[in-house]
Amino acid sequence: MSEFGKVATGWWRVPKGARNLITDVPGVQVGHATLLEGTARTGVTAIVPASGNLFQQKLEAGATIINGFGKSAGILQLQELGQLETPILLSNTFAVPVCTTVLIKHAIEANPEIGRQAPTVNALALECNDGVLNDIQAFHVTEETARAALDSCGSDFELGSIGAGTGMKSFGFAGGIGSASRLFEFDRSQFTLGALVLSNFGQRSEFRYFGKRLGDAGERDSEADKGSIIIVLATDAPLDSRQLTRVSKRSAAALGRLGSYLGHGSGDIAVAFSTDRERDQKITETSLDAFFLATAEAVEEAVLRAMWHGKSRKGYDGAQLPELRSTIKEMNL
């Protein structure tokens, strides 16, 4: 059986990268810190976008607020200036202040002039609410947790209920961290686009597994399409901030393919950045369709991978989420 079962055969059109992870984009690294003691079902996931001093060598970036039910930090300035100048930390809603503090301190360590002789730094900390399984009021995530995630960053990393994804829920199943990548060529050059998601959204009755409903078409959930999803897109192509914003918007197509209608209570945010600092090549607008298709595919697969690798575990108050993998095997799909 393939990673997703028989039903996945022939679904994807764009070739995948070697790892099928966001780290197929050269220079990108990811790490996790997971907390599972006591009432904790949470953690932090860190994304280092590129090597070098990000504050001194900022990356072109763009973002789309698909639905703005969220409490993230740093999005406003990123949208205004089109620049990414810190690593990205993902965690639960109440951990945003801690993650922001760690990113600021991390930047000051490399750039002692920040906030004095130099401008302040725009830290990017993004969140989803893991309160179904995690006792979010306990504030389990500390500065040490966030530091541990940054320190563990590398090219290979786990998917599913780990790091920031430990307590997340997607379409009624265990969700969490997912990733995928796509390769494409134009103008005799090959580029990579990678996606990483923190998946915590969706209504079980609307879920589409490779276009197929898993339940009765007349079934309806008592809960609405809510939760959140954070989508991070990386590419080594020389896109500018406006083009990256256009690419980030196409994440919404993937969410629709999965069955989400972007409900009122869902915080759906997509951030895209380019690791190309030389910018000696220009990508024309008419070439962006290749990026748009790659984005829709990579984000859709990343969400499915988050769910496929999600683990069923009891929450702090006894709640437990089913595993998509077990359900698919039982259905023999």
pLDDT reported for residue 9: 85
Domain assignment present for 321: no
Domain for residue 330, yes or no?
no
Q: Looking at 228, 241, 251, 274, which residue is catalytic?
A: 228
Please say if the pLDDT value at position 158 is more than 80.
yes
Pairing relationship of beta strands 189-200 and 176-186 according to DSSP bridges: antiparallel
Angle at CA of residue 301, ends 318 and 289, nearest 5°: 145
pLDDT digits (tens, 9 = 90+) for 96-132: 999 999 999 999 999 999 999 999 999 999 999 999 9
Residue of higher predicted confidence among 47 and 7: 47
- pLDDT-derived band at 162 (thresholds 50, 70, 90) equals very high
CA angle 164/166/168 to nearest 5° reads 90
What is the mean pLDDT of the segment spanning 88-95? 98
Catalytic residue among 248, 266, 274, 276: 266
**Which of 277, 332, 280, 327 has its CA nearest to residue 304?**
327
Residues 257-300 pLDDT 10s: 999 999 998 999 999 999 999 888 889 899 899 999 999 999 99
Angle, CA 185 vertex, CA 254 and CA 29 arms, to 5°: 65
Q: Alpha-carbon torsion 94, 150, 159, 11, what sign?
A: positive
Residue 323 counted as domain residue: no
Query: Could you count the other beta carbons within 10 Å of the beta carbon of residue 58?
Result: 18
Q: Is the pLDDT of residue 154 over 90?
A: yes
Terminal C-alpha separation, the chain: 9
Please tell me the distance from the alpha carbon of residue 296 to that of residue 256, in angstroms, as a whole number.
10
**How far is residue 76's CA from residue 134's CA, in Å, rounded to a whole number?**
28
Question: What's the CATH number where 224 sits?
Answer: 3.60.70.12
How far is the C-alpha of 94 from the C-alpha of 198, rounded, in Å? 15
**Residue 189 binned pLDDT confidence (cut-offs 50, 70, 90):** confident
Q: Which of 24, 225, 268, 276 is catalytic?
A: 268
Q: Note the Cα 314 to chain centre separation in Å.
A: 24
User: Confidence class of residue 44 from pLDDT cuts 50, 70 and 90?
Assistant: very high
Q: What is the pLDDT of residue 245?
A: 98
Q: Which two tokens stand for residue 239?
A: 């896109």
Strands of the chain, DSSP E: 29-35, 42-48, 59-68, 83-84, 88-92, 124-128, 169-170, 173-174, 176-186, 189-200, 208-209, 212-213, 227-235, 266-274
Q: Which whole number is the average pLDDT over 63-92?
A: 97
Q: What total of structural domains would you count in the chain?
A: 1
Q: Is residue 318 part of a domain?
A: no
Q: Is pLDDT at 221 greater than 80 in this prediction?
A: no
What's the pLDDT band for 220 if we cut at 50, 70, 90?
low
Check pLDDT > 90 for residue 191: yes
| Residue found under tokens 């966001």 | 22
Model confidence at 185, in pLDDT bands (50, 70, 90)? confident
Under a CB-based contact definition with an 8 Å cutoff, are residues 259 and 234 in contact? no
Report the 10 Å Cβ neighbour count for 261.
Answer: 13
CA distance 326 to 332: 10
Which DSSP symbol is given to 222?
A: S
Higher pLDDT, 2 or 198: 198
* Residues 6+ positions from 116 with CB-CB distance below 8 Å: none
pLDDT of residue 216: 62
Residue 268 annotated to the active site: yes
Q: What span, in angstroms and rounded, lies between the C-alpha atoms of 170 and 159?
A: 14
Q: Domain limits at 271?
A: 6-312
Q: What's the whole-number mean pLDDT along residues 231-239?
A: 97
Tell me: pLDDT of 186 over 80. Answer: no
Query: Is residue 329 assigned to a domain?
Result: no
Residue 325 falls inside a structural domain? no
**Which pTM was predicted?**
0.97
Domain contains 328:
no
**Cα 87 to Cα 109: distance, rounded to the nearest angstrom:** 14
Residue 122 placed within a domain: yes
Q: State the chain's mean pLDDT as an integer.
A: 94
